[in-house]
Chains A and B, each alone.
Chain A
Amino acid sequence: MSALLVAQNLVKTFGTGEAATRVLRGLSLTLEAGEMAALLGPSGSGKSTLLTILGTLMKPSSGQYTMLGQDLIAANDKALTAFRNRHIGFVFQFHNLLPDFTALENVIFPTAVREGRETAAARARGRDLLVRMGLADRINFPTAKLSGGQKQRVAVARALMNGPELVLADEPTGNLDRVSAMRVMELVAQINREEGTTFLISTHDEKIANLCRRQIVVGDGVVTG
Chain B
Amino acid sequence: MLYALKIAARYLTASKAQTALLVLGVAVGVFIFIFMSALIGGLAEFILSRTVGDISHITIEAETADPAILIEPQGQILAVVERGRVRTASLSDADTWLPLINGVSGVIAVSPQINGAGFLTRGAQVSQVSVAGVEPGRESAILNLDGYMVDGVARLGAGLVVLGQTLADDLSLSVGQTVRLQSSRGVNAVLTVSGIFQTGNGGMDQARAFVSLSTARTLFAMPQGVTRIEIKLRDLNAADATAMRIRALTGLDAVPWTDGAGQLMEALNAQAQTGYFLKTFALITIVIGVASALLLSTYRRRPEIGIMRAMGAGRGFVVFVFVTQGALIGMMGGLSGAALGYLALLPFPTRDAFRAGTLPLDITQGSYSLAIGLTVIGAILASILPARSAARVDPVTAIGQ
**A residues neighboring B (CB under 8 Å):** 52, 55, 57-58, 77-78, 81-82, 84-86, 90, 92, 96-101, 109-110, 112-118, 158, 162
Contact = CB atoms under 8 A, between A and B. Distances in A.
Contacts of A100: 10-11, 14
Contacts of A99: 14, 304
Given A57-B396, A58-B396, A99-B304, A81 B14 contact: no
Interface stretch (B38-46, B98-106, B310-318, B338-346): B310-318
Given A100-B10, A116-B2, A118-B6, A85 B396 contact: no
A101 B313 contact: no
B3 A117 contact: yes
Nearest to A142: B14
Contacts of B311: 84-85, 90, 109-110, 113, 158
What does DSSP make chain B's interface, helix, strand, loop or mixed? helix
Nearest to B307: A96
Interface string B366-401: 000000000000000000000000000001100100
Contact of A116 (B3, B11, B14, B315): B3
Contacts of B315: 77-78, 81
A58 B310 CA distance: 11
B309 interface: yes
B3 A118 contact: yes
Of all A-B residue pairs in the complex, the 5 with the closest CB atoms, nearest first, are: A85-B312, A100-B14, A117-B2, A113-B313, A110-B311
Contacts of A98: 304, 307-308
Given A96-B307, A96-B399, A98-B304, A81 B313 contact: yes
A57 B310 contact: yes
B304 to A, nearest CB: 6
Interface string B306-342: 1111111111010000000000000000000000000
Contacts of B395: 57
Contact of A92 (B6, B308, B399): B399
A52 B396 CA distance: 7
Contacts of A116: 1-4
B312 A84 contact: yes
B118 interface: no
Nearest to B15: A100
23 contacts: A52-B396, A57-B395, A57-B396, A58-B396, A81-B314, A82-B314, A85-B313, A86-B312, A96-B306, A96-B399, A98-B308, A100-B10, A109-B308, A113-B3, A113-B308, A113-B311, A113-B312, A113-B313, A113-B317, A114-B312, A116-B4, A117-B2, A118-B3
